[in-house]
Structure 1
């Protein structure tokens, strides 16, 4: 009896230090019931992987200069659709968890491995060099892909969700082409790259001249100074997320599918990307749909200055939002729950409000 009484007395204090996974999930601001870290392992989880195996349909199309571009479609009969434009050195596999969560909210998904990465055809002379001849090739590929989907006749609403380099690509696409989208969300958009103390004009001069010089000595694209082939990364010194489980899940996709491994960027990639980011800023007023910019407050890959300039230049559409998440690192969709859920809650709420007729573009 005394032992039982002691346990009853201690129970409230034990509960303070041992929160069940379900209770922990309820404590988070998670109104959409999105996946949390308590449900994950070092390879996402069995449910997410089973969803991907069942629903993710791979395909290829020929992009600029007949390069093979890999895509994935997840079509489960949803009323709305989201096209995802990925960042540099990513593959569609990194987006398994995000696709799983978005599909459960009523969205079909369409994903593209941009040229030179993921399962798409490689450039630069070998598998590992993160290279592109012209940034505009990314944009033209994206237009070719989206045009082939014929989204306007299939769905009630279509949205474009992009990350980092993919945000620069999708922004230029929206500025240049007729499109089927009702809104765009940009995670950690690459509107200015962190060059340290090197001024942009100097970085462009170095990388453009370095590219020209490299062609005299090699048939392969030259890495940026200090660049290397693919090397497995450690969580302890990573710059993209504070979630160890999501970091490991992402890294393990490259180990399971070595063909998705990519090294550092080429000089040409840096040169053309810096110019493209500035172009995206300068022509932001040509975007004619609502835009949500989600900024990672702890980002060291891209800088905030370009994001602020881009947002300020969004003058064509009345409806725009800028959302900063303090301390979040670059890959928000793979971040700890407190950051990832904040970003996805804002995104889903943004889409829902637009579907309800709130916040029109003009008015």
Structure 2
């Protein structure tokens, strides 16, 4: 069944894209897009965004992958983009357990991946990087290589601030407040923040495009995380940061750190790169958290690292 796509002249869909609904195991609708025509001689890249993100945000990236000879598959994570939302308030970014993301990804790999050319690789940003780290651990047969942009391996808090936030989150979780916004959170989407106040990118043109997409289709917008999402994120990050967990990840990992990241802990990325046996850590200078929508000079550093990494496949 065909799924909708938001079209803007300044953000063209790479040629040959096919949008469709994937039914999760519990019946939830997950929006996917795949590109399979033309040159797919280098295999398939499974492309995944972070929290709040959606497929249209990565059309430029999908096009760049297509130019490199890859087929591409992307999916809006459950609870965001045009995939099914979990709460009555669609602006609440919620998940009860990251294992739900695991199940949705497994559905994609069982239902869609077998028809895609090999080798299969993955490229994921932020929260998507946390989910893909779990996948690399649990399903080593899926991806021959995994490239990660500012992956959410740890959040950027001072030690005392993290203890306070963890304590408050645990208390609110115990009190049954999982579906409430985190303290201070609201329905405003990150892309609705004025450019001058944003902490995601230095690139005004690409940021304006994200704002235009959300204005054109407000259903793409997602506000702050819920208490439940943050509680689940802490549990997942604690599990995946254990040295023995990382040591069992055998797929080559490219971990790209944004030098000016205000959201992800640089220490957590260095820790993962130290303990995962086939990990390479690359720092992208002059980049905020959203490396893939940064200025061209920062993106060029990422793509050079990606090209070296995938040339070894």
TM-score scaled by length of structure 1: 0.78
Find 2:291's aligned residue among 332, 341, 345: 332
Task: Give the whole-Å Cα distance in 1 for the aligned partners of 2:52 and 2:267.
Answer: 23
Q: Paired residue for 1:185, among 124, 142, 147?
A: 147
Structure 2 counterpart of 1:91: 54
Matched, 1:119 2:82: yes
2:222 equivalent to 1:222:
no
**2:92 is the alignment partner of 1:132:** no
Q: Residues 70 and 156 from structure 1, CA distance in 2 versus in 1: closer, same or farther, beyond 3 angstroms? A: closer
CA distance in 2, matches of 1:180, 1:267: 31
- Alpha-carbon distance between aligned partners in 2 of 1:125 and 1:206, rounded to the nearest angstrom: 24
Residue matched to 2:200: 240
Which residue of 1 is the match for residue 3 of structure 2? Answer: none
- Residue in structure 2 matched with residue 67 of structure 1 by the alignment: 28
2:8 and 2:213 in contact (8 A); partners too:
no
The match for 2:304 among 342, 345, 349 is 345
Which has the higher mean CA deviation after the structures are superposed, 117-126 or 105-114? 117-126
Unaligned runs of 5+ in 1: 1-42, 356-363
Show structure 2 runs of 5+ residues with no match.
1-6
Q: TM-score, normalised by structure 2?
A: 0.90
Q: How far off is 1:155 after superposition?
A: 2.1
Q: Choose from 100, 103, 120 the match for 1:158.
A: 120
Instruction: Quote how far apart the aligned CAs of 1:201 are.
Output: 4.3
Residue 305 of structure 1, CA deviation: 1.1
Aligned residues: 301
1:75-110 C-alpha deviation (Å, 9 max, x unpaired): 114121100121000001100111111111111110
For residues 236-275 of structure 1, what are the structure 2 equivalents within 5 Å?
Answer: 236-275=196-235
The CA deviation string for residues 206-230 of structure 1, in whole angstroms up to 9 with x for no partner, is 1132133244xxxx81101111113
Please tell me the root mean square deviation across aligned C-alpha atoms, in Å.
2.0
User: Partners of 2:85 and 2:72 in 1: how far apart?
Assistant: 24
Q: How does 1:308-319 map to 2 (within 5 A)?
A: 308-315=270-277, 317=278
Distance 1:150 1:184 in 2: 15
Q: CA deviation at 1:306?
A: 0.9
CA distance in 2, matches of 1:263, 1:123: 13
Q: Larger Cα Rg: Structure 1 or Structure 2? A: 1
User: Residue 65 of structure 1: SS of its match in structure 2?
Assistant: coil
**What CA deviation, in whole Å up to 9, does each residue of 1:306-342 have, x standing for no partner?**
1111111102x4xx31101123100000000110111
SS in 1 for 2:132: helix
Moved over 6 A (4+): none
